[in-house]
């Protein structure tokens, strides 16, 4: 994510749309990527990304520069994505079992060595869908975005031990699934 000057943030917080457009252009890809990894669906990620920017626009005047702007945006994006994913999870629990079976069939069919990058991304998406939205957020922020445990805790406004336990549970669940799937080919 590109750095954004304090002046641009202050002008946007006062309702000036031109600086807000600068903020949007500098952060939209970052926000979309974070959201997408949590909600696991392109259309849903686009919807949640729009919601994130509405929230940023409404709450920008309350940004106090106590944390970095990037951390603040992370927090909004992750919280929106988690809330969205939790709502969707209620209706998609049955799909997880289907996805697990599909992953096992795909990898065990011997196609693992010949999978292209797009196919691998789909399998990663399916694997992420197996864990809870809270765990998924921690995994995405740690393993995909590269944040430290402390940064994840600050972003999600949770205790660092909660971050550790969510990551541990996610890994355990993925490892249990890994006994059925050959991850070397993912």
Domain hosting 33: range is 6-185
Going by pLDDT thresholds of 50, 70 and 90, the confidence category of residue 184 is very low
Instruction: Work out the average pLDDT over 94-116.
Output: 51
**Please, what is the angle between helix 69-108 and helix 42-59, to 10°?**
170
Q: Find which of 29-43, 107-121, 136-150, 165-179 is predicted with most confidence, using mean pLDDT.
A: 29-43
1-41 pLDDT, tens digit per residue, is 677 888 888 898 888 899 999 999 999 999 999 999 898 88
What pLDDT does 6 receive?
84
Residues 6+ apart with CB under 8 A from 89: 132, 133
Look at residue 79 and tell me if it is in a domain.
yes
Domain count, the chain: 1
64-90 pLDDT, tens digit per residue, is 877 788 889 989 999 999 989 888 776
What pLDDT does 35 receive?
94
Look at residue 1 and tell me if it is in a domain.
no
Q: Which pTM does this prediction carry? A: 0.63
Going by pLDDT thresholds of 50, 70 and 90, the confidence category of residue 174 is confident
CATH number at residue 153: 1.10.1740.10
Cα dihedral 38/44/46/52 (nearest 10): -60
The per-type count for the chain, helices as H runs and strands as E runs, is: 8, 0
Is the pLDDT at 167 greater than 70? The verdict is yes
Look at residue 64 and tell me if it is in a domain.
yes
């Amino acid at each position: 994510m590109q750095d954004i000057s304090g002046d641009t943030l202050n002008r946007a917080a006062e309702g000036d749309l031109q600086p807000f457009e600068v903020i949007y252009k500098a952060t939209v890809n970052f926000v979309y990527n974070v959201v997408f990894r949590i909600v696991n669906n392109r259309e849903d990620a686009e919807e949640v990304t729009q919601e994130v920017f509405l929230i940023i626009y409404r709450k920008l005047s309350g940004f106090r520069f106590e944390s970095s702007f990037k951390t603040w945006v992370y927090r909004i994006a992750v919280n929106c994505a988690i809330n969205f994913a939790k709502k969707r999870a209620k209706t998609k629990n049955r799909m997880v079992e289907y996805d697990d079976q599909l992953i096992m069939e795909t990898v065990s069919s011997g196609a693992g060595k010949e999978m292209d990058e797009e196919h691998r991304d789909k399998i990663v998406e399916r694997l992420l869908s197996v864990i809870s939205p809270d765990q998924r957020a921690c995994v995405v922020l740690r393993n995909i975005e590269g944040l430290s445990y402390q940064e994840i805790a600050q972003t999600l406004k949770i205790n660092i031990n909660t971050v550790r336990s969510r990551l541990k549970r996610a890994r355990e669940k993925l490892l249990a699934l890994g006994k059925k799937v050959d991850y070397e080919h993912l």
